[in-house]
Copies of this chain bind each other. A is one copy, B any other.
Amino acid sequence: MIPATASTSGNDLLAALPARERENLTQHGEHVALAQDEVLCQPGERIRHAWFPLEGFVALLAEVDGHDALAVSLVGSEGMLGAPLVLGMHTSSLRARVQGAGSALRIKATDFLRVLAAAPILERQLRRYLAGRLEQLAQTAACASFHVVEARLACWMLMAHDRAHGDRFYLTHERLARLLGVRRSGVSTAAGVLQGRELIGYTRGRVVILDRAGLERAACACYGQERDEVAAVGVAAVARNDADGAVEDASPPRVAA
């Protein structure tokens, strides 16, 4: 027997759902592994599944002039892949590539949409998640334009740390360079500095977070914003779950549909 319910609550979005809605999802979903560098969705191609990561993390990459240029988002067990489905779209211009191996609950797009239509809590949850993503994308745009590589690197280390379940994960300079949209040697230099200050350890792609507080000081304020937004989705979810049917703010008790 698959420990479906137990394992799927490893995803924050799912964990916040009432049991009935969660079970409807897990019923239609399958537990799959996410292999390093696996591509879950290509730009322009039809989105076939919604994914709820349980472990590991997936980068969303924007293309420019025909090649991957910049990672605009990092999705782990706090989020989902296939967000455009929630908005009624079946394609995306972003590439989803696994950057930290792990696993996920995967649900066919059609099944997902059918379940979603009958799962008001899930829908509200995902709306909040999307709103957070909008904010975060704007933040990323500004961050990538204005902050130096070292601060941005620290930022990504922290985001990866939040999503890896532990202090160690695998991310080579080369990969990081592609995420940050800078040269590999630029990452080497910046990582060297962080290593020199004993904030991280680094040997052939094996990252160890040594001093998280120090890393937060080295990172730009964007990390704080990002974390707060993630937290906001979670808090809203808990509040809703507690109320579960009660109206906690001025919004009508689940509109139409």
Whether A72 pairs with B113 at a CB distance below 8 angstroms is no
Complex: how many Å from CA A62 to CA B110? 36
Residues of B within 8 A of A124 (CB): 88
Q: Give the residues from 133 to 153 in chain A that come closer than 8 angstroms, CB to CB, to chain B.
A: 133-135, 137-147
Q: Which chain B residues lie closer than 8 Å to A93 at the CB level?
A: 135, 138-139, 225
Majority secondary structure, A binding face? helix
- Min CB distance A116 to B, Å, is 7
Which chain B residues border A255 with CB–CB below 8 Å? 113, 116-117
Is A131 an interface residue when CB atoms closer than 8 A count as contact? yes
Bound: A144/B141 CA distance, A: 7
- B62, B87, B120, B250: which contacts A141 (Cβ < 8 A)? B62
Which of A12-20, A33-41, A63-71 makes up part of the contact surface?
A: A63-71
What are the residues of chain B within 8 A of A141 when measuring CB–CB?
62, 70, 72, 137, 140-141, 144
- Is the beta-carbon distance between A131 and B84 smaller than 8 angstroms? yes
- How close is A182's CB to chain B, nearest CB, in angstroms? 9
Cross-chain contact of A69 among B127, B137, B146, B252 (Cβ < 8 A)? B146
Query: Are B252 and A113 neighbours in the complex by a CB distance under 8 Å?
Result: yes
How long is the Cα–Cα vector from A144 to B70 in the complex, in angstroms?
Answer: 11
Q: Does A24 contact B (CB under 8 A)?
A: no
Q: How many copies does the complex hold?
A: 2
Across the interface, A134 reaches (CB within 8 A) one of B134, B142, B251, namely: B134
A221 at the interface (CB under 8 A from B): yes
Most B C-beta atoms less than 10 A away, residue of A110, A140, A225: A140
The answer to whether residues A72 and B138 also contact, given A64-B146, A127-B87, A145-B181 and a CB cut-off of 8 A, is yes
How far, in angstroms, from A92 to B181 measured CA to CA in the complex?
27
Q: How far is the CA of A134 from the CA of B141 in the complex (A)?
A: 12
Contacts of A62 in B (CB 8 A): 138-139, 141-142
User: Is there an interface contact between B89 and A221, defined as CB atoms closer than 8 Å?
Assistant: no
Inter-chain contacts of A72 with B (CB < 8 A)? 137-138, 141-142
Contact A114 B252 (CB under 8 A): yes
Give the residue among A110, A138, A140 with the most B Cβ atoms within 10 A: A138
Residue A4 interfacial (CB < 8 Å): no
A188-204 CB contact bits vs B (8 Å, 1 = yes)? 00000000000000000
Contact B137 A65 (CB under 8 A): no
Task: Tell me whether A252 and B117 are in contact (CB under 8 A).
Answer: yes
With known contacts A141-B72, A145-B69, A250–B110 Cβ distance under 8 A? yes
